Amino acid sequence: KNEVEQSPQNLTAQEGEFITINCSYSVGISALHWLQQHPGGGIVSLFMLSSGKKKHGRLIATINIQEKHSSLHITASHPRDSAVYICAAGSYNTDKLIFGTGTRLQVFP
Amino acid sequence: DGGITQSPKYLFRKEGQNVTLSCEQNLNHDAMYWYRQDPGQGLRLIYYSQIVNDFQKGDIAEGYSVSREKKESFPLTVTSAQKNPTAFYLCASSRQGDSYEQYFGPGTRLTVT
Give how far A54 is from chain B: nearest CA, Å.
15
Q: Over range A4-33, report the average pLDDT.
A: 95
* Residue closest to A62 by CA, chosen among A95, A21, A28, A104: A21
* Residue closest to B72 by CA, chosen among B4, B21, B1: B4
**Is the pLDDT reported for residue A1 higher than 70?**
no
Q: Is the CB of residue B27 less than 8 Å from the CB of residue B5? A: no
Residue among B45, B101, B104 whose CB faces A43 most closely? B104
pLDDT of residue B1: 60
**Is the pLDDT reported for residue A92 higher than 90?**
no
CB–CB contact A99 B43 (8 Å): yes
In chain A, which ranges are E strands?
4-7, 10-14, 19-25, 29-37, 43-49, 52-56, 59-64, 69-74, 83-91, 97-99, 103-108
CA distances from A82 to A19, A59, B97, B112 (A): 11, 13, 33, 29
pLDDT of residue A14: 97
CB–CB contact B106 A99 (8 Å): no
Per-residue pLDDT tens over the stretch A35-54: 999 888 889 999 999 999 99
Q: Which of B43, B47, B59 to mutate to test the interface with A (most CBs of A within 10 A)?
A: B43
- Provide the total of helices (H) and of strands (E) in chain B, helices listed first: 0, 11
* Residue closest to B108 by CA, chosen among B94, B87, B92: B87
**Is the pLDDT reported for residue A109 higher than 90?**
yes
pLDDT of residue B34: 97
More confident residue, B98 or A103: A103
In sequence order, which ranges of chain B are alpha helices (DSSP H)? none
**Is the pLDDT reported for residue A29 higher than 90?**
no
**Which positions 3-32 of A are in contact with B (Cβ < 8 Å)?**
4, 30-31
**Residue numbers of chain B with a pLDDT score lower than 70:** 1-2
Distance CA B67, CA B54 (A): 8
Q: Which long-range contacts (CB under 8 A, 24 or more apart) does B1-6 make?
A: B2/B26, B2/B27, B2/B28, B3/B27, B3/B103, B3/B105, B4/B91, B4/B92, B4/B93, B4/B103, B4/B104, B4/B105, B4/B106, B5/B105, B5/B106, B6/B89, B6/B90, B6/B91, B6/B105, B6/B106, B6/B107, B6/B108
Give A74's strand partners: A19, A59
Per-residue pLDDT tens over the stretch A60-89: 999 999 999 999 999 999 999 999 999 999
**CA atoms A84, A90, A95, A100: torsion sign:** negative
